[in-house]
Amino acid sequence: MTAPIVRTHSGIWVVRDDLHPGGTKARFIGKVFDGVREAVYASPPEGGAQTALAHVARALGKKATIFVAQRAKPHARTLEAARFGAKVVPVSPGYLTVVQSRARQYCRDTGASLIPFGADIPGGIEAIATAALATGLEPEEVWCAAGSGVLARGLALAWPKARRHVVQIGRELAPKDVAGARIHVYPRAFGQVALIGAPFPADPHYDAKAWELCVAMSGPGRILFWNVAPLPRG
């Protein structure tokens, strides 16, 4: 396990997993290929898991297939996944429920392995906790963006005594999804970009939104923010 790189921005420790190839999910998503040749993911166009899967599949010599909403101009993350060798299957109409249904049917037809939403797979939470502890830091307050809640649960496992905050991006979260962290709802939809950027490469659909609220609302003491993924290269 490669320890995350940490930098200080605005007096806050920032875990720079934008510097880890494929981002945080690439730390554990390779587990889906155990005994499997092809893994399939149903992704929102802006989702970071599609690029993490493509990076890891290429490194392992495996096959990644991404089902995603059809767009006149594919999102930069989808284009990057394709450049790394992933098979991209555009779906119309592009509602996520339809995309997921098509992905499930593909797996039934081919025997490929379907990755659950957010790459919520066995061992993922433990891998995140291991990476967090490898920083050697003991934050008093922890912030991150949350889609499926996998990252938040991993950080709770690493730092159970910290004040933990998540910024909801996309679907509505329940406390159990984020291991009891305080949930803040960002006022703009997943498909819309953050109102304010970050002083480091942060996905405007995801991490930048959490950074905005972290800077505005974090308390005193040792604060840590987890930046999940590199910016896409479209």
164 occurs within a structural domain: yes
Chain-centroid distance of CA 197 in Å reads 18
- Phi-psi category of 100—alpha, beta or left, where left has phi over 0 and alpha has psi -120 to 50? alpha
Question: From the CB of residue 30, how many other CB atoms can be counted at a distance below 10 Å?
Answer: 21
207 occurs within a structural domain: yes
Full residue range of the structural domain in which residue 54 is found: 29-118
So what's the pLDDT on residue 80?
94
For the chain, how many helices (H) and strands (E)?
A: 6, 10
So what's the pLDDT on residue 191?
85
184 occurs within a structural domain: yes
C-alpha–C-alpha distance, residues 36 and 175, integer Å: 33
Same structural domain, 85 and 134: no
So what's the pLDDT on residue 4?
97
234 occurs within a structural domain: no
216 occurs within a structural domain: yes
CATH number where 49 lies: 3.40.50.1100
172 occurs within a structural domain: yes
1 occurs within a structural domain: no
Q: Which residues in the chain show pLDDT less than 50?
A: none
So what's the pLDDT on residue 234?
58
So what's the pLDDT on residue 167?
98
So what's the pLDDT on residue 14?
98
Same structural domain, 149 and 103: no
- The DSSP bridge partners found for residue 69 are 91
To which residue do tokens 């599949």 refer?
57
**Structural domains counted in the chain:** 2
Q: What is the 3-state secondary structure (H, E, C) of 175-188?
A: HHHHCCCEEEECCC
Beta strands in 92-227 (DSSP E): 113-114, 141-146, 163-168, 182-185, 223-227
So what's the pLDDT on residue 194?
95
**pTM assigned to the model:** 0.92
So what's the pLDDT on residue 68?
97
Same structural domain, 20 and 127: yes
